[in-house]
Amino acid sequence: MEHVILIGVVIVVTLMLGSQLLVRQRAKRMTGAPLPALPADFSGRVPATGRALLYFFSPSCAACRAITPRIRVLEATRRGVVAVDVTIDSGVAQALGVMATPSTVEIDNGVITGFHVGAIPAAVLARFTS
């Protein structure tokens, strides 16, 4: 019986790690790609030229609750910073291949220059706060 439980735990952990790896590899492949077509009701929120930062969150995401208020302040004060609630704008998340929250996509002149899963790296925030 103990072996069955141990095998079950190993399988669950392996699946969790595998899904994390898949999400991160997919994000890495997006870097350098042109920005895909976004839903018409959203595309006006992303500047066609210059830098943009799309922050994807979910209200039920515990990690997002710590980051989202800071991004909301940036969104109100900085052009090109957009907080995207995946429960409302799921089409935007699908267009960019967002598979986990929080995720952050950096865009420069219509090209994805960074795709970050999890906490936003300090260097990324610095680029959009200075």
Stronger pLDDT, 114 or 40, i.e. the higher one: 114
CA-wise closest residue to 78 among 89, 70, 88: 70
Q: What percent of the chain has pLDDT over 70?
A: 79
* Mean pLDDT of the residues in the chain: 83
Q: Is the pTM of this model over 0.85?
A: no
Domain boundaries, the chain: 2-129
- Cα 106 from Cα 117, distance rounded (Å): 12
The string of pLDDT tens digits covering residues 14-71 is 666 555 555 555 656 667 788 888 888 887 888 888 899 999 999 999 999 999 999 9
The b-or-e profile of 37-71 (16+ CB within 10 A means b, else e) is ebeeebeeebeeeebbbbbbbbeebeebeebbeeb
| Cβ 108 vs Cβ 51: under 8 Å | yes
Would you tell me which CATH number, out of the four given (3.10.450.50, 3.40.30.10, 3.30.930.10, 1.50.10.10), belongs to the domain 2-129? Answer: 3.40.30.10
**In 10 A of CB 8, how many CB atoms?**
10
